[in-house]
Amino acid sequence: MPTFTAFTKLSDKDAAEALGEAMEGMDPEPTGVGVFEIEDGSGTWEVGGYFLEEPDGVELALLAAGFAAKPFVVSEVPDTDWVDKVRRELTPVVAGRFFVYGSHDADKIPDGSEPLLIEAAMAFGTGHHGTTQGCLESLDALAAQGFTGRSVADIGCGTAVLAMAAARIWPDPVIASDIDAVAVEVAEANVRANGLDGRVTCVEAAGFGVPALAERAPYDLVFANILKQPLIDLAPDMAAHLAAGGYAILSGLLTRQAEEVVAAYASQGIHEKTRRVIGDWVTLTLQKPA
């Protein structure tokens, strides 16, 4: 059974969010609506919906006009077993000592590696994105230098792959958080699948904004693989919750966005140590002075 998508673009964040809310009242009703900033520095927002029936073109045109958006582009999506497709096309990722794989590749785990099982069916990142790979390689580099994380947090954890990687190589518990309740459920499922129950705690939170995160501070290592503006907004809280001498591994950034983030953290006394570039993406390792 085919499904349909309808996407448009506009340049005002508030209007984009309002348009997304208005789409939820359409008939036929969309099964999901998303509002995303296009990370190209243009300030453009994309609003899209997914439908089990072809959406009403007139209603979409009226919505676009009402919110000063470009005309919607409607596409039919063929019936595809996406999980099977991902399993066929995504190969395991080697990032330093870490080996990120799906269960269909369990026979490929190299001797001496630290395996991290992330199923293709799980949303919120499989470890194949350059930002996740960059964070894992940065973690591996810190550990190779003799650093041991005793209080580690993964902010905006998605699948919790970074939190699990830290728990694989160090003995102390790790905490992972995400603002999305479904992401937290996925993270918890991954923790169980990797046999890390009790080693990684997953909580729903924005930034450090729950007692479970605050009471474990100060942290000697914090991961935040999110986006440029949330990273900038997080800088004061990062400074407040990071231990003296502690590290922050930041990603979710295009290379051209790095300097703005570096400056935001430098203003809080957290300074860049290294950066790692994979394709168009950059991962920053910063440190708070001892």
268-273: long-range pairs with CB below 8 Å, 24+: 268/235, 268/236, 268/238, 268/239, 269/239, 270/235, 270/238, 270/239, 270/242, 273/247
Whether 156 has a binding-site annotation, put simply, is yes
Whether 274 has a binding-site annotation, put simply, is no
Whether 180 has a binding-site annotation, put simply, is no
Residues in binding site: 132, 156, 178, 225
Binding-site positions for S-adenosyl-L-methionine: 132, 156, 178, 225
